[in-house]
Amino acid sequence: MIISTTILATVFVAFMLYNLRNFLIKPVVQCLDIKIGETKILFISDLHIPKSLKIRDKFSIIGEFMKKNNLRLLFIIGDLFDDFHVKASLSEIEEKIRKIVDILDLPSNVTMYVIFSNSSHDPIIGNKKISITCGRRRIIVTNNLIRLTIGNMKIYLLHGDLGVKNGALAYLLNKIAWFLGYPYLIERFTKRYILRVEDRDWLIMGHTHIPFISDEFKVANTGSWKQYWRDSSSTAILYDKGRLSLINLKQCSTNEYESAMEKTS
Ligand SMILES: [Mn+2]
């Protein structure tokens, strides 16, 4: 009991100190507002595709899943790339994104929003909004927070590196907090204290590589597609007719994604 209390107190103090700046000065978070009428949306993050685009992972299951289930809207919530954290030229970013459309085997009528992470991995683009067309596909790249409005539902989308910038540290903090009885620490902290989002609205993040969905706190994490020292989860969050679910795309062998739905908390 004393040990766990000490660990919790240490973690809490370290976390507060690390984020002190965000407590004192509310970070300026630019927001991109999107209102849509789609009934199905896929959210993924943390693909960590190398800049060389030489990959062995089968990312095409993302596009295959979208085609099978008639999904036309995709949000990639950060860490799309693994080693591309430089001020790249617009033409280089465009070229790589077009190739990623191929790697993911996306539907020909897809609209894809990409939120670049800011701390590492993704290109540095400042506050630029980049629009790319690729046949009938529309791609919008930003590094801002996205506020998605679907009817009465509001979903905030953010990579999640505003507070704890290092993904491995974010992972560790979430695991320890979870173990000590405070689940989803980073997501709940980001939602309440950094973004000051209303309780009834949702926040979907990436960054920690721990997939989950919590109806209680209305926070979710898309997981990751890269095998580091942490496993790849191959997960996504699916919006379908007003409901959000955590799904595992590697378990989708049929047209029906119901089979891939994991237990929601
Ligand atoms: Mn990541």
pLDDT digits (tens, 9 = 90+) for 218-232: 999 999 998 777 778
Among candidate residues 213, 71, 202, 70, the one with its CA nearest the CA of residue 148:
202
170 within domain boundaries: yes
Q: What confidence tens digit (pLDDT) does each residue in 171-214 have? A: 999 999 999 999 999 999 999 999 999 999 999 999 999 999 99
Structural domain harbouring 230 = 2-260
- 115 CA from centroid of ligand 1 (Å): 12
**For residue 16, pLDDT beyond 70:** no
**Tokens 């919790």, residue located:** 8
Q: How far is the CA of 97 from the centre of ligand 1 (A)?
A: 18
Beta bridge partners of 157: 146, 204
> Rounded to an integer, what is the distance from CA 155 to the centroid of its chain?
12
Kind plus residue range of the DSSP H or E element containing 175? helix 167-179
Q: Is the pLDDT of residue 264 over 60?
A: no
Domain assignment present for residue 216? The answer is: yes
In a domain, 16, yes or no: yes
The answer for residues whose C-beta is within 8 angstroms of residue 81's C-beta and 6 or more apart is 47, 48, 49, 50, 51, 96, 121, 122, 123
Domain count, the chain: 1
Residue 218 resides in a domain: yes
β-partners of residue 133 are 138
Separation of 22 CA from ligand 1 center, angstroms? 21
Query: Which CATH number is 237's domain given?
Result: 3.60.21.10
In a domain, 214, yes or no: yes
Residue 129 maps to a domain: yes
Q: Which helix (H) or strand (E) holds 157?
A: strand 153-158
Any domain includes 265: no
Ligand 1 is a single-atom ion; what residues have CB below 5 A from it?
Answer: 46, 79, 167
- Is residue 239 one of the residues assigned to a domain? yes
Q: What does pTM read for this prediction? A: 0.88
CA–CA separation, 77 and 90 (whole Å)? 20
